[in-house]
Structure formats: C-alpha cells, structure tokens
Amino acid sequence: MHQSRTMSTGKVGILRTLTAEGEASAHILSESLGVSQQGISLAAKELESLGYIERRRDEDDRRKVWFGITPAGVERFNEEVTRGWAALLGAIESSLSTDDRDLLRAAIPALTKMSVGVSA
C-alpha cells in the first residue's frame, strides 16, 4: 500500500491530522504521529513549500507556530488516500480467494470507520 503513495507516510500523517483537526502545533503533530518535533518541522517545511500547508504564529505566544491545511493539501491528501485504497484492493484481488475477497469487501465500511483517528 505504501509503495503506491508518492508522499511519505509521515507527511500523509501530517495532512491527515490537519484535515481532521483543522490546525495543529508541531507539538500536537509530534505527539499524535510519534515523530520528533524536528522531524515534524522538516516535513512541514517541505509541505509548506509545496503549498499543502500554511503556518501562522500564535497571537498570544509568538514562539508557538500553528499549521493548517490548504485546499491543495486536502486535495493531495485525498489523492494519497485513494492511491492507498486502490493498492490495498489490488492486493486483495490478487492474493485472496473469491470467498475471502467477498468477506473483506463486506468489512471495508467498518474498517474505514475504524481507521479514523489512527496514527500513521
């Protein structure tokens, strides 16, 4: 599934978190994704340069930076999710029996609901 993505799992995790939360600090992203704040900072710089996220300084604490997702970032996140699902479905089709595939297809809606809020 990860091979079909064109963006690292960590960057997709940042986009997923920002899509769900609206905005988050580097500390919040670090905690939710299990990545160092330095790692978040480096990934955020790249995502910002691509136009997928934007940053703003906290009005009360100018040392704190908040990240938010842009419309282009939402679009890119959705593309990555679509690629991931297509790869997963391709793997299911090529390696499972018809009965097993039917069971998995029936479970996909429930699995999708479960995946909301799961870390990258």
pLDDT tens across 39-64, in order? Answer: 999 999 999 999 999 999 988 888 88
pLDDT tens across 108-118, in order? Answer: 888 888 876 55
17 versus 63: the higher-pLDDT residue is: 17
d(CA 43, CA 52): 11
* 90 has a pLDDT exceeding 70: yes
d(CA 111, CA 88): 12
* 119 has a pLDDT exceeding 60: no
